[in-house]
Chain A
Amino acid sequence: MSNHAFHLEEDDLIQYALGTLKDTQLTQFTAHISLCNVCRGRLAQYRTDLAVFGAVQPPSSLPDGARERFLARLNNPAPSPSALEKIRTRSRAYLFSKAFRHWMDTPAPLLILSGALAIALTFVGYDDLSHIHQLRQMQPEINRFERESSKFQELEDFLRGTNAQDATLRRGINTNKEPEGHVLYSAVNGRLVFTATNMPGPPPGKTYELWVLPANGGNPIPAGTFTPDLQGSAAIVFPEIPANVQASSFGVTVEDQGGSNTPTLPIYMSGQ
């Protein structure tokens, strides 16, 4: 969509494509790109330019025996510990805590966005092929949103707004690997955005379902089903729920595929 007040600068898009932005900028720009088809298109073009630039670099001759070492690994599922592996192992603990800190420091609307992005942008890293299939399954939902671009504007306004109810759904003690859900909800117009992280896959044939629990004690209102991606991320954007329902809390249950009209206990996670 193009009805944005501003677009990203060329140089920022280039740095975005290169992956050289600092965390704060990265989050801000990611938010814009997730909502702006124009900048997404420009970014894709820069990625192509850079990919091609890489592909025309002159090849180097391999170290002696590299071909044999590679072919020997084709049928050897357990790789010998390489220098690379050692670096990875050493740094793992740090990356963990860094991701956690980043999560804690990010203001809520941006958190929501970066979560929704896992779906909106459909691709986690160029080289993470294991995710492609799973993420593509979510594409129809996003396409629906892109077609209804007025809704995109509405989503952006909603995420910027401050009068929405803000709930964090947790399961037990919150460490950074615990499942966690986040709801932004505006009762006046029945608008809701939900994102979740660290969710395990549901049991076979089952799905997760989000519920709004009305403050007046009425029946729980279904607010959409979701299946997390391989990284445990999921999002529900603007499910169909009636307006003017004050919520006392929100909950997630495990239901049969396709969802249910009444929640099945136990509540998997909840928050208010």
Chain B
Amino acid sequence: MDDAELLEAVARKDESAMAALFDRYSGLVYSIALRVLREPELAEDVMQEVLLQVWRQPGGFLSQKGSLGSWLAVVSRNRAIDVIRRRARLTPLEEMVLPEPRNLQRTIEDSRMMDRVREAVETLPEEQQSSLHMAYFDGLTHIEISERTGAPLGTVKTRIRSALATVRKALQV
């Protein structure tokens, strides 16, 4: 069954469908939370919360047909970073107003496109990878990354911009 079919079954409170979605996405959701939080216990909590949200409100995900993985990745990352921000007493992402990710709906139905993006990401130059990782997983600002790595701010900006340009190019082929 594809994601949409599973979500429809989940909407009918079909536990085996939810278990199937869990098997499909828990590794991704957990992995992102773990890279942000670096604590398995907390990462598992985030993963549970994110996937329980699918169980409780599958309708919200149904409209995102074809991009459930991308969606869950965003949710997991934001939730996990919020855990850190709450600890550090910074404004949590959940309080920030974000525009509708309309374009997510257009993203990647077919796994070949995902594979292309994965390959592009894996072959990013090391310094682009690490800058983007610090921004994405650690939630650091460009300035913080510059301070932490000793690279000039302009260089950090270029690295992150280039990394995302590579992702976009792989999406658009």
Contact = CB atoms under 8 A, between A and B. Distances in A.
Report whether chain A binds chain B. Answer: yes
Interface in B92-122: 92-104, 106-108, 114, 117-118, 121
B114 A44 contact: no
A124 B45 contact: no
Of the listed residues A47, A56, A61, the one surrounded by the most CB atoms of chain B closer than 10 A to its CB is A56
Contacts of B75: 126-127
Interface string A59-81: 11111001101110110000100
Contacts of A71: 15, 18-19, 22
Contacts of A54: 32, 70, 73-74, 76-77, 136
Contacts of A62: 26-27, 30, 44, 47
Interface stretch (A91-99, A170-178, A196-204): A91-99
Given A14-B164, A61-B27, A84-B45, A47 B101 contact: yes
B52 interface: yes
Of the listed residues A49, A95, A117, A126, the one surrounded by the most CB atoms of chain B closer than 10 A to its CB is A126
A98 B91 contact: yes
B40 A63 contact: yes
A48 B101 contact: yes
Contacts of B42: 83-84
Contact of A95 (B28, B92, B108): B92
B168 interface: yes
A127 B161 contact: no
B2 to A, nearest CB: 16
Given A30-B97, A51-B70, A95-B92, A69 B48 contact: yes
A50 B74 contact: yes
Contacts, number: 226
A263 B96 CA distance: 35
Interface bin, chain A: 35 or more
A45 B168 contact: yes
A121 B97 contact: yes
A267 interface: no
B86 interface: yes
A34 to B, nearest CB: 9
B171 interface: yes
Contacts of B18: 71, 74
A57 B100 contact: no
A52 B114 CA distance: 8
A87 B87 contact: yes
Contacts of A132: 60, 63
Given A19-B139, A51-B74, A95-B95, A67 B26 contact: yes
A158 interface: no
A44 B101 contact: yes
Interface of B: 15, 18-19, 22-23, 26-28, 30-32, 34-35, 39-42, 44-53, 55, 57, 59-61, 63, 67, 69-79, 81, 83, 86-87, 89, 91-104, 106-108, 114, 117-118, 121, 132, 135-136, 139-142, 157, 160-161, 163-164, 167-168, 171
Given A26-B96, A48-B101, A83-B45, 11 more contacts: A19-B96, A43-B99, A54-B76, A57-B32, A59-B28, A62-B30, A62-B47, A71-B18, A88-B86, A125-B97, A127-B74
Interface of A: 10-11, 14-15, 18-23, 26, 30, 33, 40, 43-63, 66-67, 69-71, 73-74, 79, 82-85, 87-88, 90-91, 94-95, 98-99, 102, 114, 117-118, 121-130, 132
27 contacts: A11-B157, A14-B164, A22-B141, A45-B168, A47-B74, A47-B104, A50-B136, A51-B67, A51-B73, A52-B107, A52-B108, A52-B167, A52-B171, A54-B74, A55-B69, A67-B19, A70-B51, A71-B18, A84-B42, A84-B49, A95-B95, A114-B97, A118-B97, A125-B78, A125-B93, A127-B74, A127-B94
- By Cβ-Cβ distance, the 8 closest A-B pairs, closest first, are A59-B27, A129-B60, A54-B73, A60-B31, A127-B75, A84-B45, A123-B100, A56-B118
